[in-house]
Structure 1
Amino acid sequence: MHVILLGASKGIGYQVLQSLLSSAGSGAEQQQDQWSTTLLLRKPELIEQDATIRPYIQQGRVRIVKGNATSEDDLRKCFEGVNVDLIISSIGATPSFTLSGIHIDQPELCTKGTIALLHVLQDYQTKETQAQFPLPRLIVVSSMGIGDHHREIPFAMRALYSWLLTKPHQDKLALEYLLRRSSTSFPTPDPSSNPNAIPPESWLPQSTVHSIQSDFLPRVTIVRPAMFGADGPARPASQLKVGEKAQVYFVRRSEVARFIVDECVQKGGWVNKLPVIGL
């Protein structure tokens, strides 16, 4: 089983990487169930020098491609020589707080990354035989409160989200719109019934949208975490709420990573769903 991980140098992606690599035992009967990975990293040394991951690199279970998730050429390198079963993307811009408000280092990272990935996947579909190389499942981390889900979040959080997270949520809105349009199961958001679910032309031009094939991805999961609180060990799963209309406030990155690995990957759940997770 092979997974491409985007955004694995830190946060959710790094914890997913650790969990997948250690999830199968070392016995001969279990080796066929072990995950191997391809990581697309701007700074490979962050993982190459990691004492936890280095043994897996030496075993050949971790392959590193140097590049950027917004580059189609770099993404194509990730598919070379492997049959990809799964893609997990947790890329996102890094916010910093300044006296003038929140500054985002790469405000269009999710938008550009999604465009590039979908271009590569639609080429992958046309160039390979579907019976032999079906399109991989795609799991992407978004955010609670995006588009048509804004009205579902707790009332106390709505003003905070609208004021504090406008720019990063614009980026996530484009990510979700493009994925839902390319999915065979999600309906494309309708501007007449829900204009808030449509990215503005100034952010995502229609010419770009129409460069991407619609209705071709068979298995998509868009994970919508609550607002990230203080990092720490994951709390018991029984304490968390998960559901497409769950009303939650905060979540830890470790809890999102565990949900992705345990519920989405190992149990195969939440295919073609938009689960919200938090406490």
Structure 2
Amino acid sequence: MRIAVLGASRHTGQSFVSQALASNTNIELTILARTPANLPFPKDQLCQITVVQGDALNKNDVAKAINGADIVVCSLGAKMDGFSKPVDMGVEEAGIMHILDIVKETRADTPPRLIMVSSTGVGTHNDVPWLVRPLYSLLLSAPHGHKARAEIAIKNSGVPYTLVRPAWLTNGDVTKTYRAGDGVRGYTVSRNDVAHFILNECVLETKWVNASPSIAY
């Protein structure tokens, strides 16, 4: 199984790559990285990864990374720095649009499955607890706008997909105690548990094809 990962250099994408390599399954990983020398993986993991140097904002770079992939995992997102303006705003939307364009142009008959890390509260607040809905509206309206447009484009593309919608992300360990499903509400979930869910329920199993599961504790 060949998997391409966009957004593998940090957070959920990084954890997914590490867990996939440790799973002892027949997974071949290709990742897109702006600066391969700065990748956070130890040498024993890097030697098992095909690294394509490039930028998710560059369509040609994305095409090289996803070439021949059975599954594309997109874990791109803006970098939040407190209350300052996010860095790389809209990168997930741009990356998704490139992926969909490339698939339409080159693999319309055999599209890869696309797994996107989105968020609870995108498009609707039905999966967000009442107490934190004002916080989501205040802090996340702009990045969620990009994610919402990406979600709509994916759903309208005809490409098989899974939109993973985690609650507020934390840096906790893998607990396997998360809940996942349509409209699941919760306050937090760790990036490591989201990566565990993607690997075990979306990649190694096909439980959530053409679905948008929310995930939280």
TM-score (norm 2): 0.93
- The answer for the alignment partner of 2:6 in structure 1 is 6
Match of 1:37 among 29, 35, 46: 29
Shift of residue 52 of structure 1? 4.2
| Residue deviations 1:255-277 (CA, integer Å, cap 9, x gap) | 10000011111122111110100
Q: 2:197 matched to 1:256?
A: no
The amino acid across from 1:145 in the alignment is G
| Residue deviations 1:95-151 (CA, integer Å, cap 9, x gap) | 112xxx33111112112111111111111225xxx3xxx21111000000111x313
After TM superposition, the structure 1 = structure 2 runs for residues 24-103 of structure 1, keeping only pairs within 5 Å, are 24=24, 34-47=26-39, 50-56=42-48, 62-80=49-67, 83-97=68-82, 101-103=83-85
| Residue deviations 1:141-172 (CA, integer Å, cap 9, x gap) | 0000111x313321111111001111211121
Distance, in Å, in 2 between the alignment partners of 1:113 and 1:265 is 20
- The answer for the alignment partner of 2:146 in structure 1 is 171
| Structure 2 unaligned blocks of 5 or more | none
| Structure 1 unaligned blocks of 5 or more | 25-32, 57-61, 183-215
Q: 1:73 to 1:170 in 2, by over 3 A?
A: same
**Aligned Cα RMSD in Å?**
1.7
- The answer for the alignment partner of 1:19 in structure 2 is 19
Distance, in Å, in 2 between the alignment partners of 1:48 and 1:256 is 19
Moved runs in structure 1, 4+ residues, more than 4 A?
none
Which structure is larger by alpha-carbon Rg, 1 or 2?
Answer: 1
Q: Larger RCO: Structure 1 or Structure 2 (Cα < 8 Å, ≥ 6 residues apart)?
A: 2
- The answer for the alignment partner of 2:102 in structure 1 is 120
| Residue deviations 1:30-78 (CA, integer Å, cap 9, x gap) | xxx511111111011123873342332xxxxx21111111211111112
- SS of 1:277's equivalent in the other structure is strand
How many percent identity over aligned positions?
A: 31
Q: 2:119 matched to 1:143?
A: yes
TM-score (norm 1): 0.74
Distance, in Å, in 2 between the alignment partners of 1:89 and 1:8 is 9
Distance, in Å, in 2 between the alignment partners of 1:246 and 1:152 is 6
- The answer for the alignment partner of 1:212 in structure 2 is none
Distance, in Å, in 2 between the alignment partners of 1:267 and 1:51 is 29
